[in-house]
Amino acid sequence: MEDARHPGFLRGSPAFGPWSFYKDALAIVVPVMLQLLITSLISLIDNFMVAGLGDVKMAAVNVANQINFVYIVIVNATCMAGGIFLSQHRGAKDEEGMRQSLRFKLMAALAFAVLHSALCLLCPEALIRIMLGGNREGEDIVREGARFLRLVTPSFAPIAVTSAISSSYRDVGRTRVPLLISSAAAALCTLLNWLLIYGMLGAPRLEVAGAAAATDIARLVEAAVFLVSLSTARPAFAFPPRSFFRVDAGLFKRIRSRSAMMLFSETAWVLSETVITAIYNGRGGAETVAGMAAGWTIANIFFTVFWAVITATSVIIGSTLGSDRLDEARQKGRWILYGSFIFGLCVGAVAASSTFLIPLVFGNLSPQARAVTRGLVFVISAYVPLWTLLNAQFALSRAGGDTAMGVWVDVGVTYVVFIPLAFALAAWTGFGPVLLFGLAKLSDFGKAAVAFWWLAKEKWVKNLAEKPEGAADADSSRAHGPASDGQSRSSGA
């Protein structure tokens, strides 16, 4: 491996790639953003409906969803770990390796679904109280939030299945299938929310319970359609259900070893976000929780840029490394980093202009809650360029299996700087939730600096699709077994 001064990476020139490169990247980015944008817009509509029930019920549903966010981040981290290998095996044209990667995603994600379901059924009140941080209207929020958390538990296993399959489609560049399925599921969820929250067209008025029922039904339908798509769309990574437990122990061990640090760093990050959420939720009453939740709902529309950049980086860099074009991967990696920052500047400007939506969408919230929402959206829009760059840095390191960078950044910077700073601001100042959040997040500039330093070591410039010594014989014998699951597949491109 060449050293960090290799002209094809950070110290090389030009900083930006040709338009043809970004055009190919946008062909991946745009469908992913559309899928997530539709989902986020419908989530905005859902929150508008729940907001009509008042600050307390709006706060309860969103605090419960913050707890579910921890689960979703862990599932996504698991799928990203499998996706690293799936993308590289795609570059190496190894379809059996792609199938094994999907098996890993499904098994690991479903295991986390079982654990999260148990926690939400057995102790939802304790989980909600942790998130409220001494909020003065805490008990009312706890009661409604715990009820919602128990009722929404049936959606956790379908979320695991959907995440594993939809991420696999994106890993091979087939973004249209998850776009269509998830958009239809999100539309179904919105329709059911309208029917069940307010009791429209003769349906019962269930309020918070209606929101949970709508989520459960939509998630079950979404997962079922994704499973059917494996036999109809015929992606290269699909396998018949009867071969679900036909695992390659050696490859699973390699994925586990690579995913351990990624899972650790993502868990460390999401726990730190949970801590800051609990701190700012305690700076007032239901209006604070509801206002911050509404702000994040708007922000999630623009956060679609993060997953789009992550997906494009994984597909482009993973396939390039897997086909053993290492110098080309260095060059493309630099182009992605600089391009992502410019992309983030554009998205941040649009986010700042979106505050006019607040009185239109969240008019049912109290004026105090809307003021919190407006401030949060402005702060987030200022950070979007930096966060887009950070996501590109993480995606670049993980595309080559370098998961150690996440530990340095998410565990090092977060727990040495961010968490102590947040607690200090909470203890020694009377700052409101928005200012407290914005100041604590200054530590993310340190994250980007550490990430650049680590990426320059080029530990990510690796071809993970190369067979370990002794594995080639085992693979050749396996290829004569069940005929690679007994099905011919399209290339998945």
* 413 within 8 A of 450, measured Cβ to Cβ: yes
Which residues make Cβ contacts (< 8 Å) with residue 118, sequence separation at least 6? none
Mean pLDDT of the chain: 81
Instruction: Give the span between the Cα atoms of 376 and 344, in whole angstroms.
Output: 17
pLDDT at 485 over 70: no
The pLDDT score that the predictor gives to residue 39 is 64
pLDDT at 200 over 80: yes
Residues 387-434: tens digit of each pLDDT = 999 999 988 888 887 877 877 787 778 888 888 888 888 889 888 888
Instruction: Give the span between the Cα atoms of 64 and 368, in whole angstroms.
Output: 22
The pLDDT score that the predictor gives to residue 272 is 81
pLDDT at 378 over 90: yes
Q: What is the DSSP letter of 489?
A: -
Helices 138-151 and 124-132: angle between axes, nearest 10 degrees: 140
How distant, in Å, are the alpha carbons of 128, 186, 383, 423 from that of 31? 35, 16, 24, 40
What average pLDDT does this structure show over 99-122?
93
Instruction: Give the span between the Cα atoms of 315 and 83, in whole angstroms.
Output: 9
pLDDT at 483 over 50: no
pTM over the 0.75 mark: no
| pLDDT cut 70: percent of the chain above it | 87
* C-alpha dihedral, 133 to 134 to 139 to 143, nearest 10°: 0
* 196 within 8 A of 453, measured Cβ to Cβ: no
What average pLDDT does this structure show over 350-376?
85
Choose between 490 and 365: higher pLDDT.
Answer: 365
Which residues in 201-337 belong to E strands, given as ranges?
A: none
Instruction: Give the span between the Cα atoms of 75 and 253, in whole angstroms.
Output: 18
The pLDDT score that the predictor gives to residue 344 is 92
Residues 270-300: tens digit of each pLDDT = 778 778 877 877 777 777 877 887 888 788 7
The pLDDT score that the predictor gives to residue 7 is 44
What average pLDDT does this structure show over 162-168?
91
Which residues make Cβ contacts (< 8 Å) with residue 122, sequence separation at least 6? none
Q: What is the DSSP letter of 284?
A: S
Domain residues of the chain, as ranges?
19-479
Residue 86 corresponds to which amino acid? L
Structure token pair of residue 381: 């829009």
Coil vs helix vs strand at 105: helix
Whether the ω angle into residue 433 lies within 30 degrees of 0, i.e. cis, is no
Of 401, 472, 458, 402, the C-alpha closest to 101 is 401
Instruction: Give the span between the Cα atoms of 435 and 55, in whole angstroms.
Output: 21
Pinpoint the alpha helices (H) of 202-248. Answer: 208-232
Residue 398 corresponds to which amino acid? R
Q: 191-195, 229-233, 280-284, 329-333: which has the minimum mean pLDDT?
A: 280-284
Residues 300-324: tens digit of each pLDDT = 788 888 878 888 888 888 878 877 7
How distant, in Å, are the alpha carbons of 11, 17, 332, 335 from that of 20? 22, 8, 12, 12
Position of tokens 């799936």? 86
Q: Is 18 exposed, middle or buried (0-12, 13-18, 19+ CB in 10 A)?
A: exposed
The pLDDT score that the predictor gives to residue 136 is 57
Structure token pair of residue 414: 């977060």
pLDDT at 488 over 70: no
Of 384, 345, 304, 308, the C-alpha closest to 27 is 308
Tell me which range, 84-88, 292-296, 437-441, is most confidently predicted by mean pLDDT.
437-441
The pLDDT score that the predictor gives to residue 476 is 35
